[in-house]
Amino acid sequence: MAGSAPRHQSAARHSLARRVALIFVAAVVITALALALSAYFISKAAQDQEALDKALTQSRFNLFLADSMLPEAPDETDYERLVDAFQIRGEFATLIEVEDAPPYVSGFNVTRELITAELASKVAEGRIGYQTIQVSDRQTLVVGGPVRSGEVTAYFFYPQDARLAGLATLRNILLIAGAILTVLGAIAGYLLAKRLLRPVRQASKAAVQMSQGDLDIRLPAGSDEFGVLAASFNRMAENLQAKMLDLEAGQARERRFVADVTHELRTPVSALVGEASLLRSKLESDPSVCAPEVARLVGMVNTDIGRLRQLVDDLLEISRLDAQAADTVLEPVQLRPFLAQLVQVR
């Protein structure tokens, strides 16, 4: 049982240290996750807006260029030349839609079916519209607008591969940074828990030493909450030590009193024993000296004086043992005969 208490206290301290470290790590992880998500979504929103602004600016320029390149009565060759001019730039794909004619496109993956009804309706109203779609599993921003007051409509497809790759790189960087922060947070949490729980370990160690009889142990008292606990512990130890000193002093006084009384009683009791023995010897040698009743009383007095002497001898032996003036020898005995002998003596 004595060995289980320190193990229990050690397990409790380790459990508390783990809880403090886990709380610190959880706080670091939550904070890092919140910062990473905030940074990612803010960066994504900024890049989305930048890509949209760039696509709209480029598309307005393309619409202006298309309007200036097409003659008053454009034919199929003019539309193909316009599409080829846009294709030379290589940054986007183009779809030119003319009434009562198939669309003119640059790029094998661009078809009229990619244009949604919502985007086509907005362009038909004479406005510039945009929408994000999937083209061959690639995220693509489509911007459409009218040319020649709605006689011709043009759609420009801007792949978002570079922007998505940048966001993926940012996401990986944030994940790596989060993992590093988690490891650093775990190390910092362990060190912090170890530092914060140092007074607890000192108090636990001091309590164990006090339970083993070391009443001189004291804790260093500071100005924080643990300092208040240490001051209270020190006052308790001082009070307990004072009580123990008073108790030891009282026990010493009692031992001295018993020893003094025993020594004082030993001489008169020895004299009584001698006188009683002498009186009994006379009665045994000449029974006619006194009446039988007196002889019986003398025998009873003799017995009581013998018991009194045995009691004084026992007290003297106890006082010698308390004062450690006698050597004690331990030896095994049979309990039943020993108790029977003790009862017979008493």
Below-70 pLDDT ranges, the chain: 1-15, 90, 107-108, 149-150, 224-225, 263, 265-266, 269, 279, 282-284, 286-292, 294-295, 322-328, 345-346
Report how far apart, in Å, the C-alpha atoms of 35 and of each of 23, 46, 106 are: 18, 16, 43
Q: Which residues is 135 bridged to in the sheet?
A: 138
Dihedral angle computed from the Cα positions of residues 181, 186, 189 and 195, in that order, rounded to the nearest 10 degrees: -120
Res 345: pLDDT: 60
Q: State residue 205's pLDDT score.
A: 80
What pLDDT is stored for residue 130 in this prediction? 92
Q: Please indicate whether the domains covering 4-185 and 227-326 agree at the CATH topology level.
A: no
> For the chain, what is the radius of gyration of the CA atoms?
54
Residues 134, 139, 143: CA angle, nearest 5 degrees: 85
Question: What tokens does 180 get?
Answer: 């590093």
Q: Amino acid letter at 229?
A: L
Q: Which CATH number fits domain 4-185: 3.40.710.10, 2.60.40.10, 3.20.19.10, 3.30.450.20?
A: 3.30.450.20
- What residues does each domain of the chain span? 4-185, 227-326
pLDDT of residue 90: 65
Helix spans in the chain (H) = 4-69, 76-89, 117-124, 161-196, 198-211, 225-285, 292-322, 335-345
Q: Which CATH number fits domain 227-326: 3.30.70.1230, 3.40.640.10, 1.10.287.130, 3.40.50.970?
A: 1.10.287.130
The backbone torsions φ and ψ at residue 125, rounded to the nearest 5 degrees and listed phi first, read: -80, 0
CA atoms within 13 A on the CB side of 204: 15
324: Cβ contacts below 8 Å, ≥ 6 apart: none
Residues 245 and 68: their CA atoms lie apart, in Å, by 110
